[in-house]
Structure 1
Amino acid sequence: MRNYATAQLTGTRDNQCDATAVFTDRRTGARAYVLLDGIGSTEVVREWTRAAARRLARTAARRGDAERGLRAVYDAYAAELGGYGPSAVAVVAVTVPGKPLTIAWCGDARAYLVADGTAHKMTDDHNLRRVIGGRRNIVTSWLGSNLNDDKVKYRFGHPAIESVSLCLVAKTVRLLLASDGAYDPHEDAGHDLANLLTGKPRQAARRFSATAVKESLAASHAGGDPDNPAEPYADNSTVLVADLTA
């Protein structure tokens, strides 16, 4: 029985440029859960982001570690694209039987763990809000960049890639990966994320994504499309929900 589900809504954008992927290494049982949020809203970005999500999931699962997988793909795209071309922010979580859960990210896609009715944010956004209290939609690290850890840290105070590793204590923990179009509206509205993530993974994923778009369109804080404030605006809203066992 599958332990995860995804949900996506395009919002008011021209293309759905978020992507998810899951890959299991049959040799080791390692499984990678990936979410990418493409930067831009074109068909080129959409197709690249989908391929990049699959590539990252395969690499992270085969390496059995989120950070090692993300660094390998980050470095590969830096060499292939030279910092020019499509790009996306990324978050990846990897489970390996008998080993700690690992999570790694570049950009502002997030990972949460829900246990005992509480959602815990496991990532720290790579954006100007974190760096200087500036705009949260300007990211400071992304897949497709050619800046290494030292250069990113010099400019923004954090490395290109960050990671966490932890042993699951609760018998069952729910993992949430979310694009900013999915988590920002809930955060702005002060919603309890754990309450939105109840039920089966598919129900939770659909509820979380759909409510985010409705909140974006209805809430006064959205204010409309940044380029045309008279028009209602909702970003791509994508989530991946998975139940992990200790």
Structure 2
Amino acid sequence: MSTPAIILWPDGRTLPLQSHLRRDSRRWGIDLYVEGAHPYPLGRRATLHAGPARESVNNPARRVWMGLTGGSLPPMLRGPVAFTGPAGRDGNLAPLPAASADVIQRVANLLTGSVYTAPFTASAAQARGERTYQCDAHAIRRDRKAGRSAFVVLDGIGATPDVHHFVQRYAPRIAQEAVESGSPFQALMAARIAATADRLTPGATATAVVAVLDSQHSSVHIAWCGTTRAYRLSRFGAAIPLTADHVRAAQLHRHGLPAGGQAAQAWLASSIADGPIAQRFFERRRVPRLLLCTDGVYGPLERVHRLGPILDSTEDARGAAAQCVREAAAAAADPGNATALVVDLHL
């Protein structure tokens, strides 16, 4: 028994690749996640593909390397990496052996849903619903030296493989830029510039919300585009929106024009590709619990008035994220992609 290939992110998230393995990595998807991938043969057990990324050190991949090679020290691995089976004489890559896949998954399970210590705890949950592709994505990055943390949720526009690949690649990029610069607005602008020239997923885009915590400041900095939202939990147990959707109706209203019908209410006016990017600052003491989520979460839960009660009643971030997604799927008439990322701030 074997699995084709596995992508492993620095935070322990994994993604199995189902396409056929060929010598040209672009044909089976690694280049969509690992730019400039270089293969490192690990004997008969696996091949690790890593790129010269500037992102976080991939400690899970380093642990897997040592586990598969009997403890030999790996090079510095950054950003997402891919694991496949060894290459044959014809240069084609074999599927990843089941024993190797099991090692990768065991390491990943130790870190998936990780609880982050002071100054916050955070966790995310997702559901694909009845869609063919998961076109939501999330990412968390922390720079201990700079004292900054970044949280990102993307909601892909459309339900195609290109949109799936786009959000999986850009969520960690945006989080890394946000944690390095301290500005979620700058991170979204950088993503817009990169997406304009992106030849791997041309035309694909997403809505986004990004939050940054900085130990040097007493505020939470949020930036967003489109209809991906942020909420805070009030002391009275209510979910207070921190973002305002970028839809055509809102634009017309701001200019004193009739908002139009239901079509205008649903007409998306911004994304990573184009349109306005908004930002706001909030005092940290006013945000004991922060929720970043896609419309697959807030849409169903707002209709049944459960968003506030869930955030108020669950004990920790992991439970809150999981319950948001679980109840949203149960309340949705047509369950789709749903992502919730909950951050509990240690005040």
Aligned counterpart for 1:122 among listed residues 242, 251, 276: 242
Q: Normalized against structure 2, the TM-score is what?
A: 0.58
Contact preservation (8 Å) 2:210, 2:222: yes
* Cα distance in 2 between the residues matched to 1:103 and 1:235: 25
Q: Distance in 1 between matches of 2:268 and 2:294?
A: 13
The 2-side partners of 1:19 and 1:104 are apart by 16
Q: Which amino acid aligns with 1:127?
A: V
Give distance in 2, aligned partners of 1:169 and 1:200: 18
Q: Larger Rg: 1 or 2?
A: 2
Distance 2:137 2:212 in 1: 17
Q: Is the 8 Å Cα contact of residues 239 and 308 (structure 2) preserved in structure 1?
A: yes
Classify the secondary structure of the residue corresponding to 1:169. helix
Amino acid at match of 2:345: L
Mapped pair 1:245 → 2:346: yes
Equivalent in the alignment of 1:220 = none
Whole-Å separation in 1 of the counterparts to 2:247 and 2:326: 25
Q: What's the offset of the Cα at 1:65? A: 1.8
Structure 1 SS opposite 2:332: helix
> Quick one: distance in 2 between partners of 1:237 and 1:199?
21
What amino acid does structure 2 have at the position aligned with 1:11? G
| 1:96 CA drift (Å) | 0.4
Q: Quote how far apart the aligned CAs of 1:84 are.
A: 4.8
Deviation of 1:129 after TM superposition, in Å, equals: 4.2
- What SS does the aligned partner of 1:27 have? coil
Matches of 2:301 and 2:250, distance apart in 1: 19
Identify the residue that residue 38 of structure 2 maps to in structure 1: none
Tell me how far 1:14 sits from its aligned partner.
1.1
Of residues 149, 155, 169, the one that matches 1:37 is 155
The residue aligned with 1:157 is none
Equivalent residue for 1:214? 330
The TM-score, its normalising length taken from structure 1, stands at 0.81
Residue 228 of structure 1 corresponds to none
| Separation of aligned partners in 2, 1:107 and 1:188 | 20
1:138 alignment partner, one of 263, 267, 286: 267
One of 184, 189, 201 as aligned partner of 2:299? 184
What SS does the aligned partner of 1:141 have?
Answer: coil
Structure 2 gaps of 5+ residues are 1-114, 252-258
5+ residue gaps, structure 1, are 153-159, 218-232
How far apart, CA to CA, are the structure 1 residues paired with 2:346 and 2:197? 37
Query: Aligned to 1:94, what secondary structure does the other structure show?
Result: strand
1:56, distance to aligned residue in structure 2 (A):
0.3
Number of positions where the alignment pairs a residue of Structure 1 with one of Structure 2: 215
- Cα deviation code 1:121-143 (max 9, x no counterpart): 00000123434353344311001
**One-letter code of the match for 1:41?**
A
User: 2:110 corresponds to which residue?
Assistant: none
* Cα separation, partners in 2 of 1:55 and 1:8, compared to 1, 3 Å: same
26-35 vs 69-78, which deviates more? 69-78
Deviation at 1:24, TM superposition (A): 1.1
Deviations 1:44-102 (A, max 9, x none): 21111111001000001100122122222223323446x95110000000000031210
Percent identity over the alignment? 35
Is 1:26 paired with 2:144?
Answer: yes
> RMSD over aligned Cα, in angstroms?
1.9
Is the contact made by 2:147 and 2:216 (CA closer than 8 Å) also made in structure 1? no
Partner-residue secondary structure (3-state), 1:124: coil
**Relative contact order, higher structure (CA 8 A, sep 6+):** 1
Structure-1 residue corresponding to 2:182? 64
SS in 1 for 2:339: strand
Amino acid at match of 1:195: P
